[in-house]
Structure 1
Amino acid sequence: MDDDLRLSSNDWTDGVALLVLRLGLAWFMFLWAAHKIITPGQYQQLARHFDKVDLSLWQVYLAGGLQIALCLCVAVGIFRYASYSALLIMHFFTVLRRWERFIDPFALNDRGFPINRNPVIDLAVLGAFIALVLLIRRDHLSLGGWLNRHHRKAWWH
């Protein structure tokens, strides 16, 4: 009997829930990473404005490429501790850069548009990343989980 079929119904439920969470978070971060490749000039301007650093085009492309690779690792669930944690840390850095906008989540601009809505969304995503990392051992439907069931104590899980 295949090991995947021996998972309890709770393990299957946990695995499906974490699969949905993992794919959603990987897609969320992938979109930001892909835009670094598509519109690198925009990210040069953002780095200059927010971080006060000048990045070359190749640095933006390299950052985007590395982030895309991490997103793919998260999507399939390989190198889970490293890849999930790396995306969590990247997103935490984004949240830290916007912390002052959390103080007034209901602020409106002069046309009545909410201006601090996206940072509040960032907090929900941060919570989802933390949950994903904390639940790695229940991520049974990932490639790392499958490999771990077949090869206990494997370095790639």
Structure 2
Amino acid sequence: MFRQDRLDAIALLILRTGLVWFIFLWAAHKIITPTQYQNLARHFDGVDVSISQIYLAAGVQIAICVLALIGIGRIFSYGALLVMHFFTVTRRWEGFFDPFALNDRNFPINRNQVIDLAVLGAFVALILLIRRDHFSLGGYLAKRAGRLKWWM
């Protein structure tokens, strides 16, 4: 059967792929509906951003997603995804204190904030287990070099 380190690597591949997809969707959505993100920046952060700034941010996020998906520069790419998501979490923290709030149609309005905490925990776990992430290009290159380089 499979050895435990191989099972760990498979689990991390699945975790990494899911987390990258999660952030990629948000980045791609910036390209599809940039005015929505202009409104969000104005509402949450009190700043006005141009459409070109939103496209630039989305492009950088997508590039980091590609690096993380492949597993290149793991400490940078995984860490950058964590920081991006942490920024989102800090902007919506008030919903954590009332996770069961409903609107007038009995729809849970703070559900996404609760999901955000689970995703944040998954990003932290991905980074903590980076040395077991053998099914990534960085993990492969480190193993091939005969050294344990967790940042590759």
State the TM-score, normalized to the length of structure 1.
0.92
Aligned length: 150
Aligned to 1:49: 43
Give the one of 67, 71, 75 matched to 1:77.
71
Deviation at 1:153, TM superposition (A): 6.1
Does residue 91 of structure 1 match 2:81? no
2:94 to 89, 97, 100: 100
The whole-number CA distance in structure 2 between the counterparts of 1:154 and 1:81 is: 10
Q: Residue 126 of structure 2 corresponds to which residue in structure 1? A: 132
Partner Cα separation in structure 2 for residue 146 and residue 70 of structure 1: 19
Counterpart for residue 149 of structure 1? 143
Cα deviation, 1:73-117, whole Å, max 9, x if unaligned, reads 111111000000011011011111111110010011111111110
How many angstroms apart in 2 are the aligned matches of 1:155 and 1:14? 15
Instruction: Choose 125-134 or 147-156, whichever is displaced more.
Output: 147-156
Instruction: Quote the residue 2:5 is aligned against.
Output: 11
Q: What 5-or-longer segments of structure 1 have no aligned partner?
A: 1-7
RMSD: 1.4
Percent identity reads 69
**Gap regions ≥5 residues in structure 2:** none
How far is 1:156 from its partner?
6.3
TM superposition shift of 1:41 = 1.1
